[in-house]
Amino acid sequence: MRIVAVISPKGGVGKTTVTANLASELTKSGEHVLALDLDPQNALRLHLGMPHADPAGIARLQKGQSWKNALQKSQFGMDYLPYGTVDETHREVMEEQIRSDAEWLARGLDTLELDDTAIVMLDTPPGPGLYMQQVLSVAHIVLVVLKPDAASYSTVPQMESLIHYYTERRKDFLGYCVVLNQMDATKQLARDIFSILRSRLKDKFIPTGIHRDEAVCEALAYQQPVTEYARHSSAAHDVSQLAAWLQKTYGLID
Ligand code: ADP
Ligand code: MG
């Protein structure tokens, strides 16, 4: 099993979009993929053709209960595990569970009894936060999503030290990488941030990036991954390049 966590310190950069589309791309190439939503906003479902919030989800499972109880199948072929709808009481119980058990996520994933070739795509809320330690303790690959703006760029050092802190002693950690999403090559600032990131991060920077593309917004409106909605769009092409880069760099697919 390979776990790919999609993280960023900021909201609205494209974590959920990247998670859903990479999950779709890998599914299309024949992989067994599980897309897991760790964000209380429950937005991943909107990209996977599941418009209705489902109360059942990992946040509603009791301690010791198998996460298989909340598993769903998307019409796009991947398995999907929702966060679930929670009221204040459930939220407090859950947050307490997570704070008191550093292995909450690892244990939950174990209950799924996934086969060795499965790929888990983790969508996360903006970090650092309650889930970050859990995520960085299980992920084999961490994919940081940034937007080409100053606010996003300024978070890089903090992100790098956080990743380093939680993963340096882990023998099964393969590495982290950074993808620039919503790239617009007609903008000088976007081109500058692209170059600065590339020279700073070197081989951790994914050179292809993902372009800003209206098809991504349209796909979301129709509750589909862009890889399904507009196969020949520039964003879908970028996602397939991203999957190829992850395969070449980390051997993501066995
Ligand atoms: P996050 O999960 O980091 O909060 P989202 O994936 O929800 O971010 O994306 C935030 C918004 O940006 C969404 O409305 C999404 O449709 C839009 N978006 C994300 N990536 C792109 C892109 N490459 N081109 C155009 N719009 C995008
Ligand atoms: Mg999100």
How would you label 177-211 residue by residue, b for 16+ Cβ within 10 Å and e otherwise?
A: bbbbbbbeeeeeebeebbeebbeebeeebbebbbb
Render pLDDT for 110-160 as a digit per residue (tens, 0 to 9). 999 999 999 999 999 998 889 999 999 999 999 999 999 988 889 999 999
Assess whether the C-beta atom of 216 lies below 6 angstroms from ligand 1: yes
State residue 82's pLDDT score.
95
State residue 252's pLDDT score.
86
Assess whether the C-beta atom of 12 lies below 6 angstroms from ligand 1: yes
Mean pLDDT, the chain, integer? 94
**CA–CA separation, 231 and 247 (whole Å):** 20
Tell me if the pTM is above 0.90: yes
Is residue 55 scored above 80 in pLDDT? Answer: no
Q: Strand 141-146 relative to strand 2-7: parallel, antiparallel, unpaired?
A: parallel
**CA–CA separation, 150 and 216 (whole Å):** 23
More confident of the two residues 120 and 60: 120
Q: Using pLDDT thresholds of 50, 70 and 90, give the confidence band for residue 64.
A: confident
**Closest ligand (CA of 220):** 1
**Closest ligand (CA of 10):** 1
Q: Has the ipTM of the complex gone over 0.95?
A: yes
Question: Which DSSP letter does residue 72 get?
Answer: E
**Please, are residues 82 and 45 in contact by the beta-carbon 8 Å criterion?**
yes
CATH number of 2-250: 3.40.50.300
More confident of the two residues 254 and 136: 136
Assess whether the C-beta atom of 127 lies below 6 angstroms from ligand 1: no
State residue 128's pLDDT score.
87
Render pLDDT for 74-93 as a digit per residue (tens, 0 to 9). 999 999 999 998 888 888 88
Render pLDDT for 158-185 as a digit per residue (tens, 0 to 9). 999 999 999 999 999 999 999 999 999 9
Sequence spans of domains, the chain? 2-250
Look-up: residue for tokens 């174990």? 110
Mutate to test the pocket of ligand 1, among 6, 13, 16, 17 (most ligand atoms within 8 A of CB): 17
Is residue 247 scored above 80 in pLDDT? Answer: yes
Rounded to the nearest whole angstrom, what is the distance from the C-alpha of residue 105 to the centroid of ligand 2? Answer: 18
